[in-house]
Structure 1
Amino acid sequence: MKPNDHVNDINLTDFAMAFEELTRIIIRLPSIEKLSFTTLSVLHTLSRKSPMRLTELTATEQITQSAITQLVTRLERDGLVERRPDPSDGRVVLVHITEEGAKIIDSRRSERIAHLSKLFERLTPEEKTAIAEAIPALRHLAEIGNYSM
């Protein structure tokens, strides 16, 4: 175990491994929409931060400029995003999620909630309470992570 592995009695290795496993389960849930992880990630990002410049999407999604341009072109063709000029700088293009793109994200979230509810049924009342009490801290941790990227 590394010196920074514990922070205020939280084993960060255990925490990271539990989140990695939960993330893997959630990402791989069966879906009506057969879209790639990167496509879903871009749509999810835009559902929270739309509109965005292509360069911002390149940074947040950690793919090349060429790859994001191709992906946005395909998503635009499929009616899931649209490009519009930036009102403050006509030379810049902003990518917006469309209503159809937002529906996909909402559908995925509903599917995840349905799947998670089945898993939660198998938890003890104490485990459910512990998770419920951790939600505000987890949200704050996510906010910190989003601002540090």
Structure 2
Amino acid sequence: MQPAITDQTMPAEDAAVAAGFEHFYETLRRLTPRGPLSLTAASTLRRLERSGPHRLCELYAPEGISQPAMTQLVTRLEKEGLAERTADPTDGRAVVVSITDAGREAVSHRRQVRAEALSALLQGLTPEQYEAVVAALPALERLSDLAAEQAS
């Protein structure tokens, strides 16, 4: 049950959850392998992997960057063989960006390295703590879905 919000203030529990997420986000960033992909590049490739090809104009806002910055990023990803641009089949004036096999491999490698590092950390939890993390996964997925819905 969600605590009542009074005087337009955030419940203390929500503030604690936000702080916990921030701390865990920092941990995940440290577990992410250093390499040629920036966080934005990796996120863009994951989006293309997960959701399929997108028009260039659909990619920049969810990543929190400008359209010119996304154009530069896609150009770099294309030069590195990680993404490709093709004409939009429904509108020849527009460009569609999709992930390549090399892009999928790069995303998979980052995911694998991070998963291995996280697995090592999970070994330090008690069985009860581990079960609590596993039990929270559906709620975390739903939060991610809600955030994606709000962004679109």
Alignment TM-score, normalising by the size of structure 2: 0.87
Q: Hey, what does 1:5 align to over in structure 2?
A: 10
Q: Hey, what does 2:76 align to over in structure 1?
A: 74
Measure how far apart 1:41 and its partner are. Answer: 1.9
Report the 3-state secondary structure (helix = DSSP H, G, I; strand = E; otherwise coil) of the residue aligned with 2:60.
Answer: helix
- Confirm or deny: 8 A CA contact 1:33 1:104 kept in the other structure: no
CA distance in 2, matches of 1:28, 1:69: 27
Q: Hey, what does 1:88 align to over in structure 2?
A: 90
CA distance in 1, matches of 2:94, 2:32: 37
Measure how far apart 1:29 and its partner are. Answer: 2.4
Query: What amino acid is the match of 1:66?
Result: P
Q: Hey, what does 2:126 align to over in structure 1?
A: 124
Per mean C-alpha deviation after superposition, the further-off stretch among 87-96 and 35-44 is: 35-44
Equivalent pairs, count: 145
CA distance in 1, matches of 2:10, 2:133: 21
Measure how far apart 1:85 and its partner are. Answer: 1.1
Q: Please, which runs of 5 or more residues in structure 2 have no aligned partner?
A: none
Q: Hey, what does 1:110 align to over in structure 2?
A: 112
Q: Please, which runs of 5 or more residues in structure 1 have no aligned partner?
A: none
Matching residue within 36, 39, 57 for 1:37 = 39
CA distance in 2, matches of 1:27, 1:53: 28
CA distance in 2, matches of 1:129, 1:29: 21
1:108-139 CA distances to partner (integer Å, 9 max, x unpaired)?
Answer: 11111111111111111111111111111111
1:72-128 CA distances to partner (integer Å, 9 max, x unpaired)?
Answer: 111101100000111111111110011111111111111111111111111111111
Alignment TM-score, normalising by the size of structure 1: 0.89
Q: Hey, what does 1:148 align to over in structure 2?
A: 150
Per mean C-alpha deviation after superposition, the further-off stretch among 15-24 and 31-40 is: 31-40
- Confirm or deny: 8 A CA contact 2:32 2:110 kept in the other structure: no
CA distance in 2, matches of 1:40, 1:28: 15
- Confirm or deny: 8 A CA contact 2:86 2:96 kept in the other structure: yes
Report the 3-state secondary structure (helix = DSSP H, G, I; strand = E; otherwise coil) of the residue aligned with 1:123.
Answer: coil
Q: Hey, what does 2:102 align to over in structure 1?
A: 100
CA distance in 2, matches of 1:85, 1:44: 21
Cα RMSD after superposing both structures? 1.7
CA distance in 1, matches of 2:66, 2:109: 28
Measure how far apart 1:43 and its partner are. Answer: 1.4
